[in-house]
Amino acid sequence: MDMQLSVKGKSIEPSVTLAITAKANAMKKAGENVISFSAGEPDFNTPENIQNAGIEAIKSGFTKYTPASGTPELKEAICNKLKRDNNLDFKSSEIIVSNGGKHSLYNALMAILNPGDEVIFSIPYWVSYPELIMIAGGEPVMLKTNENQEFKFNSSDLDKLKTNKTKAVILNSPNNPTGSVYTREELQDIADWAVKNNIFIISDELYEKLVYDGLEHVSIASLNDDIKKLTITVNGMAKAYAMTGWRIGYAAADEKIIKIMSNIQSHTTSNPNSIAQYASIEGLSGSQDSIMAMKGEFDKRRKIMADLINSIDGISCMVPKGAFYIMLNSSQLYGQEIEGMKIDSSVDFANLLLDKCKVAVVPGVAFGDDDYVRLSYATSSENINEGLSRIKELLGSK
């Protein structure tokens, strides 16, 4: 029988980042010495105080259902964190706890979009943005940014794409995959535009703790009450606290928005993992020393990787200001043949690196920009030195 399956479901593309990681893992399992720069998660273990809080939750029987939108205790900890770190005042009724940051983004889009509403976001983009928008019935509108502008956009760029269907802008700072960080002045420009045009801002701040070179992370919602009312601030435990597998994200927004998000979540997933919620209270409220130690290590690796890339002929990169990624510009190599392989795209270059020197990167086409590949420095300095040494040897032989 010819089954008529969901047109929407069939239109959703699998994550290219997961595909590359799977291929690299298969090679590793086969005994090959693969160095992977494709990871989207810290290589550190969850800090011990958070681990212990999770263990205590299990021993104390904290393994039952919780309120669908999260426990009151965790919401209170999130409110305290937002005040302490972001100068944002929220009540518990303006907070939702979800199954990871991605789930919070999904809930937010489902809560504000009607069929055909447009959502603007920048290229290069995190791979799930267009897919999540389409799942929610919206239309992705992509804004091309340039490396010489640190991959950032402004109100003039947004004006060129705004239509009467524009509903929201996704702002990701610090940015995955570029590592860009928006300044307070740049955010004020975007905030003024959003307020003027009555357009929502979905502010993805998952990497807020990973900002370097003395820069500060600024939450756009903290600029004034008008932009706060239009902003859905999304964050989570995954990146800063090395809690990717615990699956805890959260969002803060106007109570009317949070109520819709909570209703949607109550019928799709119900509550986030109770043990992970308990551990997250410790993460947000306990010692932050391990967070600063991880940030310091990422900063060292960032500098090593950027210096090595920019020492190799034919490739280059912007030194990122945040997160743990570098966008390596591979476009100078396009049209060349290297080790018998023709290089015409980021996929070609990624396959060249994986096949010829056993280094895994993510093709930039996954992020909407084929001139780049993404490297993650969420790996050891030894791996960074060895992997870039292999790439230098390969490209030096072309």
Neighbours of 218 (CB within 10 A): 22
Neighbours of 203 (CB within 10 A): 27
Residue 241 has pLDDT above 60, yes or no: yes
Residue 330, sorted as left (phi over 0), alpha (psi -120 to 50) or beta, turns out to be alpha
The predicted-structure confidence for 308-329, as pLDDT tens digits, reads as follows: 999 999 999 999 999 999 999 9
Residue 370's pLDDT is what? Answer: 97
* Residue 92: strand pairing partners: none
Residue 11's pLDDT is what? Answer: 86
Residue 14 has pLDDT above 80, yes or no: no
Of residues 245, 296, 216, the one with CA closest to residue 40: 245
DSSP conformation letters of 103-139: HHHHHHHHHH--TT-EEEEEES--THHHHHHHHTT-E
Residue 39's pLDDT is what? Answer: 83
Summarize the confidence of residues 237-245 as an average pLDDT.
Answer: 96
Report residue 3's pLDDT band, with 50, 70 and 90 as the boundaries.
confident
Residue 357's pLDDT is what? Answer: 95
pTM of the model: 0.96
Average pLDDT, rounded, for the chain: 95
Q: Which residue has the tokens 């119900």?
A: 270
DSSP SS3 for 165: coil
Residue 150 has pLDDT above 70, yes or no: yes
End-to-end CA distance of the chain: 53
Summarize the confidence of residues 162-182 as an average pLDDT.
Answer: 98
> Cis before residue 124, ω within 30 degrees of 0?
yes
The predicted-structure confidence for 17-33, as pLDDT tens digits, reads as follows: 666 677 788 888 999 99
Residue 18's pLDDT is what? Answer: 66
CA dist., res. 72 & res. 50, Å (int)? 19
Q: What percent of the chain has pLDDT over 70?
A: 97
Summarize the confidence of residues 293-304 as an average pLDDT.
Answer: 97
Report residue 13's pLDDT band, with 50, 70 and 90 as the boundaries.
confident
Report residue 397's pLDDT band, with 50, 70 and 90 as the boundaries.
low
Residue 23's pLDDT is what? Answer: 79
DSSP SS3 for 278: helix
Residue 349 has pLDDT above 90, yes or no: yes
Residue 16's pLDDT is what? Answer: 65
The predicted-structure confidence for 69-90, as pLDDT tens digits, reads as follows: 999 999 999 999 999 999 999 9
Q: Where are the beta strands (DSSP E) in the chain?
A: 35-36, 95-98, 118-123, 139-144, 166-172, 200-204, 231-236, 249-252, 316-317, 325-329, 336-338, 341-343, 359-360, 362-363, 372-376
- 92 secondary structure, DSSP code: G
Summarize the confidence of residues 101-110 as an average pLDDT.
Answer: 98
Residue 50 has pLDDT above 90, yes or no: yes
Residues 362 and 395: beta-carbon distance below 8 Å = no
Residues 98 and 311: beta-carbon distance below 8 Å = no
